[in-house]
Amino acid sequence: MRSTAPRNNKLKPSSNLIMNGSVRVRVIRTLLAIQNGQSLASVLDPLLNSLHDGDKGFAHALLLTTLRQWYALERLLDSLADNSIDEKEVRTTIQVGLTQLLYLQVADHAAIHETVEAAKEIEFAHATGLINAILRKVAKNPSKFRKKCDKKHSLPNWLAYQLKQDWSEQYDDLMQGLRQPAPMFLRVNTAVTSVEDYQQALVEFEVEADLVELTSGLQLENSSDTATANSILTKGLRLHQSTAVNALPQFAEGAASVQDMHAQLAAPLIHKALLNKLSVKSDDADVDTDTNNNNNNEIRILDACAAPGGKLAHWLELISSNESSLFHVKQNDESVSMVSKVKLTAIDNEAPRIERIHTNLQRLNLSQHDLQQAEKNIELNIVCADATTWQGAGKKKSKLVFDAILLDSPCTATGVIRRHPDISILRTEEDVEQTALLQADILHNLWPQLKVGGYLLYVTCSILKQENVEQMQDFMTHYNNVVAIEFSDDCNWGIEQAIGRQCLPIDSESGDGFYYALLQKTAE
């Protein structure tokens, strides 16, 4: 899921990232670039590509750990300095030194000497005495200062305050969880192999992984207009250690994808809802029932804000599977087709991100060409468009277009801070309000395009209620043709909300912070 919150307006991005000097100098310059508004995603590869293979691991750990502990290190630094340190370059250099001493167990003499030398390289030699004194003080009792650093949160105060308001019971665990590295999860392409077989293949490649099973229960209406629990089992793999994708079996051939476990819930949820819509037969003339009658049983579905395409690919895997119940349903011991064709549209508003969708689908053999070659009854259309204004019907009179919509909504991405710790530096309190307004605009544009009886799955990777349950509550006050589908008690993930469920990134084995709400359109 992308983060499209406005960049901190106080920071001006700069592309003048100089990648020379020692490893520590390059890390310091990378951190300065992030403070100037550049994202970690845009500067990490230039940093690593500029280094010898033997230095990449240390640089990556130094950069990511410093970012994860950024605000805790800042508070520690302020307590250690006799006078205020205003020079950003000096503060950053000291924080890099503190990370080595407190979190990376670098030898004292190496951490102090190399950090002082780095200050000289970036032309801040006048501060070497101060840097040396602070680092030596910490090196005398690192466990004391590590405890002091770990005692509180490592977030900007505005964000910590909001999270305490939203999650008072989980606050302490959440604050510590956000400071830890996130586990690496794999989604297995079950059109190629089973999860269990791929787990065994990993063993042969000396990659250890645990099977993770998430159960989702949905209270969906059946043909007798009563809600019944529909259970969905989502299987994924959690690696014991993060591993380069080129070390994974058949990765290039599309056997697996790297995707957070909680992100893997999206496609099965909207797919189950779609299947339910198609199976329900209503006698109510006001309810749209043309799905099974018009256009030779064609259905149309939408993935909005689809880049980089992980959830889109997962949905395509489910639809195109040889066992897909969209195309093969048993009735009276015979296999019949529920639909003759699926028209899937995916939109995103940035051309480079559209290219990433194409690249990811090609690896998974899910491009339109691949689907045609495999004789799948799927028409895939990927469009560069703004979800706040785009109309799927084009110039057609009817705006009721889609049987199901997956809205992977733009958000502040606070639920993936473990993977993208630069978020805590780049986001501002004002970004949350602006993002919530953007989400509302997208919802109000897409909802009228959903058919009666259709479903919209709203997803974010935020852990802020303003973007999630509060957004849903506000949205539902504007329409009298929307109901929120309840999750049943057999869900083994997330925290039940007034609408939807919220996952929190609390422990070292859990997935990221995702929010899910499933809405159904009813007759006016």
Please identify every residue annotated as catalytic: 461
Residue in the block written with tokens 């994708």: 245
C-alpha distance from residue 156 to each of 163, 175, 425, 464 (Å): 11, 11, 8, 14
Angle separating helix axes 128-140 and 108-121, nearest 10 degrees: 160
Question: Do the Cβ atoms of 509 and 183 come closer than 8 Å?
Answer: yes
Torsion over CA of 234, 231, 269 and 255, rounded to 10 degrees? 20
- Beta carbons within 8 Å of 298's beta carbon, 6+ residues apart: 339, 340, 341, 342, 343
User: Which residues make beta-bridge pairs with 519?
Assistant: 456, 484
d(CA 435, CA 4): 8
Sign of CA dihedral 246, 199, 368, 289: negative
Per-residue tokens: 224:
């007798």
d(CA 273, CA 282): 16
Sign of CA dihedral 366, 367, 373, 375: positive
C-alpha distance from residue 228 to each of 121, 224, 456, 486 (Å): 67, 10, 19, 10
Instruction: Output the furthest CA–CA distance in the chain (Å, rounded).
Output: 85
Decide: residue 441, CB within 10 A, 0-12 exposed, 13-18 middle, 19+ buried: middle
d(CA 9, CA 372): 46
- The separation between CA 132 and the C-alpha centre of its own chain, rounded to angstroms, equals 40
d(CA 159, CA 466): 12
**What letter would DSSP give residue 182?**
P
Question: Do the Cβ atoms of 468 and 498 come closer than 8 Å?
Answer: no
C-alpha distance from residue 87 to each of 17, 83, 119, 127 (Å): 19, 12, 12, 10
C-alpha distance from residue 476 to each of 32, 41, 409, 469, 471 (Å): 43, 35, 17, 11, 9
